[in-house]
Amino acid sequence: MTRRVVGLVVVLAVAWGGLAALIAAGMTPRLGLDLQGGTAVVLTAAEGTDPDLLAVSVEIMIQRIEGFGQVQEPDISISGDNTVVVQLPGVEDEQRAIEAVGQTGQLSFRPVLAAFPGIIGPLAGTNTPNVDNQTGLTIEDDIYAESAYLLHEGSFQPEVLELGAAELEGDDVADAVPIFDTSSAVWAVSLDLTGEGAVKFADMTGEAASYPPGDPRRQIAIVLDELVVSAPAVNPSVQPGVGITGGRALITVGSAEDAQKEAADLALILRYGSLPVEFEISAVQKVSGTLGADSLQAGIIAGLLGLALVAIVLMVIYRSLGLLAILGLTVFGSLLITLFGLLGEWQGLTLTLAGITGIIVSIGITTDSYIVYYERIKENLRSGMDIEEAVELGFVKAYRTILTADTVSLLAAGLLYALAVGAVKGFAIALGLATLLDIFIVRAYTRRAVSLLAETPLGSGGWFSIEGAAK
């Protein structure tokens, strides 16, 4: 008995105390674009841009934002003939997000001809046209030029690389993902090429492998616009004239502290490198929520009224058990708000109308868990069990049902999260979290609270008791 009381007190303290601490720390859930607004970036392309190319650019932007991870549920639309409006909910690192979305980036893989470490300035033999005499860098680079001097801001110090004509481009890349190689404890990017890209890549790396290790010509430059983002050297084990075959390669990034982020950024660039259209950021504006404060308020008032009605219904049907369910709903609500607050702080998770819907539905599901259990107890009491037996055996059977039904909800949440985008993803997170909480509360709260209630006068005797509800 004491253990159950202590357990119950701990659950209540964690739920209510957690919520109070969260509010005290000012970490209330982060609201999404539709509820609170955010930042709108207006991107303008040149007049007369092909609408199809614009549409492709928007698709790439959506994927970039998804890959960015920090931003939930953006809104992107083509406006007029040549404008794209990107709306992002309040983001932590706003500047980085805006840049990531609009970055034009033409991606190419080019052979390295020579390296000039640490030198930024006039170079020997740069009398060639298109080279800036001050910086020694090529201006207005054409990726198919036989020779170009581009900057490589390596992890140690900047260097200038002389590059040959591009041999692969952004659309030769099928996929790129950051991975952690556990055997050598380094971060790397796993690169997958298309069929055609694989052939070109084997040629290119086969050529590079013919130079001795340490020679800059063993390097392959990955160039975005006019910047070398990475210049990995071909591994000593690669056969000259054969190259890296099979269309799959590993680009080792390193084990430094920021290697993980570096690998992720490189993978992003490789995957969505090139937008086919060049954009200019023509405006950055603050935007309000689309739902408006009035709708949100109306929704909250209506929701609370609905919950009050639910509370009354539960009390009328289940009496003292209904009271426990209402208390349990406050535990559920407190924990859910706390989770959303924490995830908003740590993961940039935002709560949108879709998420709130997920929560409303999960209130129905968590209420149902009480109802399934209480109906079992009533059934057991009517079949002649005494109150303690009815409560104990009822839990075992009800828990089985609850677990089965919750598994279906969890499957839905997990698959929607993995496969869907935008608003649907927001809904999946809310539904998934709430369902996990439901299972936790059934075990940690409901079971203890009901078995304790059964031992008090509210268990048997009187209209308001458990037995009263079964009659």
Verify binding: residue 94, another protein, rule CB under 8 A: no
Count of residues of this chain found to bind another protein when the rule CB under 8 A is applied: 78
Among the listed ranges 51-59, 94-102, 137-145, 267-275, the one in contact with another protein (CB under 8 A) is: 51-59
Verify binding: residue 310, another protein, rule CB under 8 A: yes
Residue 448 beta carbon to another protein: minimum distance, rounded to whole angstroms:
22
Verify binding: residue 57, another protein, rule CB under 8 A: no
Verify binding: residue 313, another protein, rule CB under 8 A: yes
- Residue at token pair 């640490």: 118
Among 5, 77, 128, 261, indicate the residue that binds another protein (CB under 8 A): 77
> What is the C-alpha separation between 470 and 454, in angstroms, rounded?
13
214-273 residues near another protein, rule: CB under 8 A: none
- Residue at token pair 């007190």: 9
Q: Which is nearer to another protein, 110 or 425 (CB)?
A: 425
SS3 content of the chain, % helix, strand, coil (to 5): 50, 20, 30
Distances (CA, A) of 463 to 458, 469, 471: 9, 7, 9
Report which residue type is found at 19.
L
- Residue at token pair 């009398």: 127
Q: Which is nearer to another protein, 48 or 212 (CB)?
A: 48
Which pairs with CB-CB distance under 8 Å and at least 24 residues apart come from 163-167?
Answer: 163/110, 163/111, 163/112, 163/113, 163/221, 163/223, 163/228, 164/110, 164/111, 164/112, 164/113, 165/110, 166/108, 166/109, 166/110, 166/223, 167/109, 167/110, 167/111, 167/200, 167/203, 167/204
Spatial contact of 189 and 271, defined as CB atoms under 8 Å apart: no
- Residue at token pair 């340490």: 214
Verify binding: residue 361, another protein, rule CB under 8 A: yes
451-470 residues near another protein, rule: CB under 8 A: 470
Verify binding: residue 96, another protein, rule CB under 8 A: no
Q: Quick one: DSSP state of residue 463?
A: T
Verify binding: residue 360, another protein, rule CB under 8 A: yes
Verify binding: residue 409, another protein, rule CB under 8 A: yes
Verify binding: residue 40, another protein, rule CB under 8 A: yes
Spatial contact of 86 and 40, defined as CB atoms under 8 Å apart: yes
The interface mask with another protein, positions 376-395, x = CB under 8 A, is --xx--x-------------
Verify binding: residue 405, another protein, rule CB under 8 A: yes
Among 96, 302, 327, 463, indicate the residue that binds another protein (CB under 8 A): 302
Spatial contact of 245 and 192, defined as CB atoms under 8 Å apart: no
Verify binding: residue 78, another protein, rule CB under 8 A: yes
339-358 residues near another protein, rule: CB under 8 A: 353-354, 357-358
Residue 356 beta carbon to another protein: minimum distance, rounded to whole angstroms:
10
Verify binding: residue 439, another protein, rule CB under 8 A: no
Residue 294 beta carbon to another protein: minimum distance, rounded to whole angstroms:
4
Q: Taking the C-alpha atoms of 373, 377, 378 and 384 in order, what is their torsion angle to the nearest 10 degrees? A: 160
Verify binding: residue 327, another protein, rule CB under 8 A: no
Residue 89 beta carbon to another protein: minimum distance, rounded to whole angstroms:
13
Rg (CA), the chain: 30
> What is the C-alpha separation between 21 and 39, in angstroms, rounded?
29
282-301 residues near another protein, rule: CB under 8 A: 285-295, 297-299, 301
DSSP character string of 35-100: HH-EEEEEEEEPTT--HHHHHHHHHHHHHHHHHH-S--S-EEEEETTTEEEEEEES-TTHHHHHHH
Secondary structure of residue 30 in the 3-state scheme: strand
Report which residue type is found at 370.
Y
The DSSP H or E segment spanning 44 is strand 38-45
Q: Which is nearer to another protein, 252 or 357 (CB)?
A: 357
Among 56, 317, 393, 436, indicate the residue that binds another protein (CB under 8 A): 317
Q: Which is nearer to another protein, 378 or 447 (CB)?
A: 378
The interface mask with another protein, positions 413-432, x = CB under 8 A, is --xx-xxxxxxx--x---x-
Beta strands in 304-448 (DSSP E): 350-351
Q: Which is nearer to another protein, 227 or 300 (CB)?
A: 300
Among 50, 59, 142, 388, indicate the residue that binds another protein (CB under 8 A): 59
Q: Which is nearer to another protein, 10 or 408 (CB)?
A: 408
Verify binding: residue 309, another protein, rule CB under 8 A: yes
Verify binding: residue 303, another protein, rule CB under 8 A: yes
Residue 427 beta carbon to another protein: minimum distance, rounded to whole angstroms:
5
Secondary structure of residue 311 in the 3-state scheme: helix
Token digits for 156?
Answer: 């140690």
